[in-house]
Amino acid sequence: MELVSQIIDLFLHLDKHLSLIISQYGMLTYCILFLVIFIETGVVIMPFLPGDSLLFAAGALAANPANNLNVVILMALLFIAAFLGDTLNYIIGNAIGPRVFEKDYFLLKKDHLVKTQKFYEKHGGKTIIFARFIPIIRTFAPFIAGIGTMNYRRFISYNLIGGFVWVVAFILMGFFFGNLPLIKKNFTFVVFGIIILSLMPPLLELIKQRVAKKAVKM
């Protein structure tokens, strides 16, 4: 329970935690942000780490000269982290193979994998791009691709596009809008909003599937 409360606190007060990291570690903040994005996208059992909201918060803090965060360096480093993370995830999926679907593992639920595979079957290679904006699916999509649904050369092109658009979009949104008085004052609600908006596509898809099933039964 303590771990869960710490994770929730991290999400709710992301701007404060990041400000504290900047004040304590200075330029090492780049390395810390790099590692978080790399792990969130590259380690299939870590989908709960902040992604969208962290990029937004980093962009907002980079807009303040006092924080000594260069927004261009930030975008370049975190794009590399996102690209390498997805690449590692693909390699892990390729090494483990289809047997991962046989049962549940610790922090690796078969249900999440199956849902990601269905999303993948519907959207094809574009899943690697779309998934960047959807928590959980973002972490599982390259893993599923590595299991055998996409060759590496094709995966790399989608990985480059998706990683670039995701990182640049959220950092620039934070950079230009994160310090507006209304957003700064209600940053917790903004983080919640980002998470909810990110979760809307799979939720709408789930509702659509259930409505379709009921229609078939009738």
Other Cβ atoms closer than 10 A to 42:
24
- Crossing angle of helices 14-25 and 187-217, rounded to 10°: 130
In single-letter form, the type of residue at position 134 comes to I
Q: What is the reported pLDDT for 8?
A: 58
33 burial class (0-12, 13-18, 19+ CB within 10 angstroms)? buried
pLDDT tens for each residue of 29-72: 999 899 889 988 888 766 667 778 889 889 988 988 888 899 99
Q: Which domain does 36 fall in, by range?
A: 2-217
Residue 101 CA to its chain's centroid (Å): 22
Q: Whole-angstrom Cα distance, residue 116 to residue 139?
A: 10
Give the DSSP letter string of 139-163.
HHHHHHIIIIIS-HHHHHHHHHHHH
Contact 166/81 with Cβ under 8 angstroms?
Answer: no
The pTM of this model reads: 0.78
Residues 6+ apart with CB under 8 A from 159: 83, 86, 87, 90, 128, 142
What φ, ψ does residue 108 adopt, rounded to 5°?
A: -135, 90
- What whole-number percentage of the chain has pLDDT above 70? 65
Residue 26's SS3 state is coil
How many domains does one find in the chain? Answer: 1
pLDDT greater at residue 165 or residue 187: 165
Is the predicted pLDDT of residue 160 greater than 60, yes or no? yes
Cα distance between residue 104 and residue 100, in whole Å: 8
pLDDT in tens, 12-25: 556 677 888 888 88
Asked if pLDDT for residue 87 goes beyond 90, the answer is: yes
| pLDDT reading at 106 higher than 60 | no
